[in-house]
Structure 1
C-alpha cells in the first residue's frame, strides 16, 4: 500500500527549478543515480574536485542506513520506521531494506522537496504485506509530522526514527537538538534514533562545504562527532557508539578493512 499526504496536492508542490543546483539531486548523482540535471552534475564535479572523498561519504552513508535498518528490522524486531529527510530514491531505501527483512514493515517518509515529491510514486512502492506513506512536511513542523504519521504508524509500539544527513541543514545546533528532542519525546519506549551527518575536518571538507553553500540551494553545516553524540542524550547508544559510518557494524562479507570518512553515525534506543 502506498499513500501520499502532501496537504496541497502532489502536482501543486512539484515545481522544479532546474537552473539551480539542488542538494538531493547532487547526492543522487554521487550515488550513481539518474535523477539529476547538468547544473547538479557541474556542482557535484566541482565539489568532488575540491574533496574527492565525498563519493565515498555518500556511499558509506547509504550503506550505514542499510546496515542500521537491517539490524532494527531483524534483531531489534522493529516494524515501523519514520524517515525524515528522505531524499531521492536510489538503492536500498529504508522501506526496501526493512521489507526485505520483514515484509509487513510500515514506513513513513517525510520531505518537502519538490524534486522528491515528483518521484514519490517511485519511492512509495511497498510490499503487499507492508505499507509506505509519504508526508510533504518541513522538519521543523514537528506537530504536523507526528499527527499525519500517526495515521499510518502505531505510536504505542516502537518506531525507528531516521534522520540521515538532514540535521546538517539546520544551521543552529541547539535548534537541531530541539527538533530531535521533540521527535524522540513523542516516540514510545523501545524506539530507536538513527542519525548520520557530515563531520568537520578543519580543512578540505570544510572548504568544499563552503563552496556548496554558495552554489547550492540548501546550505549545510558540518558538525563535530561530539555534537552528533549530543543528539542521543538520554538514549542508550548501541555499540560501537558514534563512529565514522563505515565503522558502524561493517558487514562480515566486506572486502578489506573499513576506512573512516568524515561522516559519523550512530543508533540509540529509548528506554
Structure 2
C-alpha cells in the first residue's frame, strides 16, 4: 500500500470511497472509479438518486442536531472522502464555533482527505481510527483537543455498517461507541436495505463484491435494533428521503429508488 513511505493511491483499481465521490458528482476519482460507477449505474439506474438522498439525509441530520438540539460537537465515523458541503460546513452555518472530528481507517482515504478539507480551520480534524475499536481514535491527542466527552456529541454513522457482515458485530461496534459518550449525545445512522427493490440490489451487491467491497443489506427490525435504548426523534426509522424532508428532494424519487433506512436517537 505504500511506496517509499508514500501511500499508493492505486489509481488503476476502483475504490469504494472514490466510486461514491464520482456518483455524487465529485472530482476526486480516477478512470477505474468512474468505470465502476457507471457499471453500477447500469445495473441499478437509481443508484445516483439513492446516494444523493443519503448525502442529503446527512445534511438534514447535521443541521437538525445543530439548530434544533443545540449540539456543538460532532463525530463522523467512517467519513470517507470529503464531498462539499461537508459536515463541518453544514454545522458551522448554524454555529461557527462547532467542532468536528472525521475518522476513517482506509489508508487511501487518509492519504487524500486531510488536504481535501482545505481551509476547514481550527476545530476540524481528520483522525485515523478503526470503528471496531473506538479507542483508536478517541484516545488520540487530536480527538481530545477537539471534542470534550464531558459534553454531548452528535455521532454520525452514515452508510458505514454495511461494511460489517455480521449483525452482532455491527451492533457491538455501535454500542461501544455509544457507551463512551455522555447522556444527551445523539446517534444518526443510515443503514443499507434491499427491502424496497431486492432484485437489482442483489446484482449491485455482486458488483461491489467483485470489486472487493462488502455490501450487507439489513431488514427493518435489524436496522431498528441499532437504536435500542435510545430515544428516537420523529419520525423514527424511515427511508432516508422521508426523514424531515425539506422540499429540496429531487422530483420523481420513488421508494424503490432508496435503499437506506435512517434515524436519529438520543442517549438518555
Q: Same fold (TM over 0.5)?
A: yes
d(CA) in 2 for partners of 1:142 and 1:136?
10
Flag the 1:240–1:29 CA change in 2: closer, same or farther, 3 A.
Answer: same
Residues 205-216 of structure 1 aligned to structure 2 (within 5 Å) = 205-214=201-210, 216=211
Distance 1:134 1:50, change over 3 A: same
Show the counterpart of 1:146.
Answer: 138
Among 220, 236, 239, the residue aligned to 1:241? 236
Conserved 8 A contact 2:49-2:253: no
Q: Among 50, 53, 63, which residue is 2:56 paired with?
A: 63
SS of 1:184's partner is: helix
Kindly report which structure 2 residues correspond to 1:1-16, keeping only aligned pairs within 5 A, or say none.
12=5, 14-16=7-9
Match for residue 26 of structure 1 among 15, 19, 22? 19
Structure 2 match to 1:6:
none
Shift of 1:211: 1.5
Shift of 1:252: 4.0
User: What SS does the corresponding residue of 1:116 show, helix, strand or coil?
Assistant: helix
Question: What is the CA-CA distance between 1:124 and the residue it aligns to?
Answer: 5.5
What does residue range 90-239 of structure 1 map to in structure 2 within 5 Å? Answer: 90-117=83-110, 118-123=112-117, 125-126=119-120, 131-148=123-140, 149-201=143-195, 202-214=198-210, 216-239=211-234
Aligned to 1:266: 263
Q: Which moved more, 1:257-266 or 1:49-58?
A: 257-266
Calculate the aligned-residue CA RMSD, in Å.
1.8
Deviation at 1:22, TM superposition (A): 0.6
Structure 2 portions without partners, runs of 5+: none
TM-score of the superposition, structure 2-length normalised?
0.91
Matched position secondary structure for 2:97: coil
For residue 203 of structure 1, give the secondary structure of its aligned residue in structure 2. Answer: helix
Alignment CA distance shift 1:44-1:258 (3 Å): closer
For structure 1, which runs of at least 5 residues remain unmatched after alignment?
A: 1-10
CA contact (8 A) 1:20 1:217 kept: no
- Distance in 1 separating the partners of 2:70 and 2:237: 22
What is the Cα deviation at residue 242 of structure 1?
Answer: 0.8
Number of residue pairs aligned between Structure 1 and Structure 2:
258
1:125/1:132 contact within 8 Å kept: no
Secondary structure of the equivalent of 2:263? strand
Deviates more, 1:254-263 or 1:115-124: 254-263
Q: Is the 8 A contact 1:95 1:107 kept in 2?
A: yes
